[in-house]
Amino acid sequence: MKKDQLIIDGKKYNSRLIVGTGKYKSFSECANAVKISGAEIVTVAVRRVNIMDTKKPLLMDYINPKKITYLPNTAGCFNSNEALRTLRLAREIGGWKLVKLEVLGDKKNLFPDMIETLKSTEILVKEGFKVMVYCNDDPLIAKKLEDVGASAIMPLASPIGSGLGILNIENLKIIRKQTKLPVIVDAGIGDAPDAAEAMQLGCDGVLINTAIAKAKKPLLMAEAMKYAVISGRKSYLSGRIKYNYTGSASSPKKGII
Amino acid sequence: MKKKNKIKIKINGRLINIKISTTLKDLLLTKKIPINKVAIELNNKIVNKSKINNIFLNEKDKVEIVHFIGGG
């Protein structure tokens, strides 16, 4: 059987779970969660170095960027210029071209500003970046992102960190059907059933941060998410039964005594 | 008149005094910043790390040094 892998910009990954590295109690807890989750890609943020204390350990000391793909993000950017600046710097740190673009437009719900996002995607693609784009669950916008050269579409399930799960199943299905790009559900996943559901819809992967990092037992949740993604994917590939509104006995009638 | 041998620059938003004819590389080394794990902006322009040895800092220069931290 052909190996079922997630392919982003020609690179193959065995795991369909991408893990965010924020909100953990410590770098070591974060690194353990990543390991247990089986994730091969992690998102990271770009921030100022603390020049007063450069002895503090760095994320790179715990998660080896040679083994795990770092996906720099633009979290906290509220316009195109900030996002472009952040990703150009990220590339300079060590040649990263694969990036996650998110331009937020709403401080309360953290919804993406899709006008700024679309504009930034276009510029970044022209500069040679491979852009995975956080977006609303809007099929029209998703199509436009594909048209300007995005490498992956990352629609939200619900607001970042909300744990509300998938709010618009039908839109995600439409987005999945209309594009050749990988669709990775990003933001809003609350628990393992949410992750499995995203995969059951045919999505190519999920990105999870808060649901793991802020679970009472993050490492156990990391493991749960790993299996949820595998399970949901296999279930999707296996072709579920049709909905049947009457009962259908599982045991044969023949030979009943 | 005593010649001024210190200049003021801003690094990550913080004003500091450095010696005249300090290069960007000198600055990073004194601050013990791992060059291979950061990116640098000088006056809002990204600096090619292979050239930092030849970049001398001037009064009122603004240096930004960033790295990767945990994020979602």
Per-residue pLDDT at B3 = 63
CB-based contact A189:A199 (threshold 8 Å): no
A48 and B33 within 8 Å at the Cβ level: the answer is no
Distances (CA, A) of A228 to A30, A223, B54: 19, 9, 53
- Find the range with the poorest average confidence among A224-228, A234-238, B52-56: B52-56
> Contacts of residue B67 in chain A, CB cutoff 8 Å?
46-47, 49, 58, 60, 93
Distance (Å, whole) CA B70 – CA A10 = 26
Q: What mean pLDDT is reported for chain B?
A: 90
How far B31 CA lies from chain A's nearest CA (Å)? 7
pLDDT in tens, A203-220: 999 999 999 999 999 999
pLDDT at A152: 97
Q: Do B49 and A55 touch (CB under 8 A)?
A: no
**Would the pLDDT of A1 be above 70?**
no
Round to whole Å and give the CA distance between A90 and B38.
8
Q: Is the pLDDT of residue A2 over 90?
A: no
What predicted TM-score, i.e. pTM, was given to this entire model? 0.90
ipTM confidence score: 0.89
Query: What is the strand order of the sheet A152-155 is part of?
Result: A98-101, A130-135, A152-155
pLDDT at B1: 53
Of A100, A119, A130, A226, which is the active-site residue? A100
Biggest alpha carbon–alpha carbon distance for chain B: 55
The mean pLDDT of chain A is 94
| Torsional class of A9: left (φ above 0), alpha (ψ -120 to 50), beta (otherwise) | left
Give the integer Cα–Cα distance in Å for A210 and B72: 8
Phi, psi of A34 (to 5 degrees): -60, -45
- Mean pLDDT, range A75-84, rounded to an integer: 91
Residue A130 among the catalytic residues: no
Q: How many CA atoms lie within 13 A of A53 on its CB side?
A: 3
Residues of A with CB under 8 A from a CB of B: 20-24, 27, 30, 43-52, 54-55, 58-60, 70, 72-73, 75, 88-94, 160-161, 207, 209-210
Q: What is the dihedral of CA A129, A134, A135, A136, to 10 degrees?
A: 180
Q: What gap in Å lies between CA A186 and CA A191, rounded to an integer?
A: 13
In this predicted structure, the answer to whether residue A141 has a pLDDT above a threshold of 60 is yes
pLDDT in tens, A88-102: 999 999 777 999 999
Q: How many CB pairs under 8 A join A and B?
A: 100
Q: Which run of H or E residues covers position A85?
A: helix A80-94
Q: What is the pLDDT of residue A58?
A: 86
- Rg for chain A (alpha carbons), in Å? 19
